[in-house]
Amino acid sequence: MNPRLEQLVRAAGQDGPRIGIISMYDVENNAVRILAATLRQAGVHVTEIYFKDWISNHIFPATDEELEGLISVIREARLNLVCVSIRASAYFNAARILTRHIHEELDIAVLWGGMHPTLMPEQSIESAELVLKGEGELALLDLAERLATGRDISDTPNLWLRQADGSIRQNALRPLVSDLDTLAFRDYSTHEHKVHLYGDTRVVGDPMHGDPVFQMMGSRGCIYKCSYCYNSTYKKDVYPGQKWFRVRSPASMVEEIKAARAHWNFKRIRFDDEVFNFQKDWLVEFCDLYPKAIGLPFEIFIEPKLVNEERMSMLRDAGLVSVYMGIQSSERVTGHLYDRRVKNSNINDIAELYHRLGIKPHFQLIFDDPVSTEEDKRALFEMVSKFPRPFDLYLFSMTVFPGSELNHKLLQSGLISEYDIEGTNTKVFYQHRVNLKYPRPVEDTFWISLIQMLSKDFIPRPALRALSKSEFLKKHPWPLIQAAHAANFVKMGTTVGKMAKNGELTKTLWRRWANLDTIITT
């Protein structure tokens, strides 16, 4: 066992394990809260540290001041193990910087967990003493209990350990949690063992308190195999043969919402599942229980193949007000590149259904792929131009996760290099949501500008269709870019005004939105 792990075992034996869990650039982190709740239920000391926050297209490395603030929190809490939650590979280098600083200043053990360490454990164990691969609740609890009782930690399932001689101990994964109802609810209580650090500011308490939206998940995993998504890799390579998509009972979800409402008075619920569960019996139970027990408006994420009028009507009657649905790109590109096969005509029918039922859709599109032709871009524009208003568009720049099917597909075809894969690349820090300042081909900027404006109620569609035929603007899109900027400013101003009037414009939201890059990508 290496010296820092030996020190951890000694310190935990004397004082019990005192564990810190760091969420980098993500104050909404579900994983940190459920890990903390699991450990606290067992009597383990946990300090949650929310380090900086996610601001679209505006992510910067930690400053010396922020790193010193982190060290102060760890020191004051007398932590003997620090866990770093790495939800995406773009944070790999940021996690290395944090880990190196903790090692240099405090010389204590660091554990990495999350999506990147699960997909890239060999790379992760080079920086941390411990890597937690896969689902973390039971593995971290097992580690804490072994430390508390003096048992050997070297064979803890799910853990990789760096030995004193440099060799790596790789333990097998425990089975996935099959009954999600057995897991602890996320901890939203406010106390001194929750800290949000950004700039020279330290705020004690849960950083999500006061947010108008309560975000939660009623499932884990996904039933689909989209090439760009980490879920495909988890199912195929990490947990082959196991049931990856698992669902909580409606009763469990309602009880968690009730528990959270004891801490703050949020106004609506967003179910952040990859796809909301549409199993008929489960849906009937949820739609009967939720409006009686909670009664708040809610939002869901949905996949086009799951949408039909019966299901959507049931959900609308239970309180559904808006949906988030991925379209991604044109029919050809979505099927060829992303392994999502849905016809444009079906998407148009779904948009009409949402309009008829009074459900507001938020359609998600992916740009900056290397395969879209001029015909594909026009087809996407034509499809979106037929959607009945109102609707919102979320425009994302293509991200390639390491180990994903999209990664393999594009590398093998020579359309990307290793540099384009997230982790090596950090494009997501400055081009997650599409920004028209980004240096892309002028033809792409032309189509993005037009498509952005399709969702704006105050811009006549016939004018946009006429502009889409301009060969001059296609080569010189500057006037369109300015028009798209102005339209986004108007829409953002209207949205902010409504939220302020309804008391929903929190400090957290204002901090995220108060930069030009975020405003023009809305």
All structural domains of the chain with their residue ranges:
3-182, 210-434
Residue pair 117/137 in contact (Cβ under 8 Å)? The answer is no
Phi, psi of 73 (to 5 degrees): -65, -45
* Distance separating alpha carbons of residues 368 and 377, to the nearest angstrom: 11
Q: Give one DSSP letter per residue of 332-368, joined into a string.
A: HHHHHTT-----HHHHHHHHHHHHHHTPEEEEEEEE-
Report the b/e string of 502-517 with b at 16+ CB within 10 A: eebbbebbeebbeeeb
Residue pair 432/57 in contact (Cβ under 8 Å)? The answer is yes
CATH class (in words) of the domain with range 210-434: alpha beta
Query: In terms of pTM, does the model score above 0.95?
Result: no
Q: Give one DSSP letter per residue of 423-476, joined into a string.
A: TTB-GGGTSSB--TTS---HHHHHHHHHHHHTT-TTS-HHHHHHHTT-HHHHH-
CB atoms closer than 10 angstroms to residue 492: 16
In total, the chain counts a number of residues equal to 522
Q: Please report which helix (H) or strand (E) contains residue 33, including its range.
A: helix 30-41
Q: What's residue 1's pLDDT?
A: 74
Q: Is 143 helix (H, G, I), strand (E, B) or coil?
A: helix
* Distance separating alpha carbons of residues 179 and 243, to the nearest angstrom: 11
* Distance separating alpha carbons of residues 32 and 29, to the nearest angstrom: 6
Phi, psi of 24 (to 5 degrees): -90, 125
Q: What's residue 501's pLDDT?
A: 77
HSE value, Cβ hemisphere, 13 Å, CA-based, for 196:
19
**E strands of 255-354, at which residues?**
268-271, 298-302, 320-328
* Distance separating alpha carbons of residues 16 and 148, to the nearest angstrom: 5
Q: What's residue 218's pLDDT?
A: 94
* Distance separating alpha carbons of residues 279 and 293, to the nearest angstrom: 21
Q: What's residue 521's pLDDT?
A: 52
Domain formed by 3-182, architecture: 3-Layer(aba) Sandwich (3.40)
Residue pair 436/449 in contact (Cβ under 8 Å)? The answer is yes
From first to last of its 522 residues, what are the pLDDT tens digits of the chain?
Answer: 789 999 999 999 888 999 999 999 999 999 999 999 999 999 999 999 999 988 888 888 899 999 999 999 999 999 999 999 998 888 999 999 999 999 999 999 999 999 999 999 999 999 999 999 999 999 999 999 999 999 999 999 999 999 888 899 999 999 999 999 999 999 988 889 999 999 889 999 999 988 899 999 999 999 888 999 888 889 889 999 999 999 999 999 999 999 999 888 899 999 999 999 989 999 999 999 999 999 999 999 999 999 999 999 999 999 999 999 999 999 999 999 999 888 989 999 999 999 999 999 999 999 999 999 999 999 999 999 999 999 999 999 999 988 889 999 999 999 999 989 988 888 888 898 998 988 999 999 999 999 999 999 999 999 999 999 999 999 999 999 999 999 998 988 888 888 777 777 776 676 666 665 555 555
* Distance separating alpha carbons of residues 289 and 296, to the nearest angstrom: 12
* Distance separating alpha carbons of residues 469 and 52, to the nearest angstrom: 44
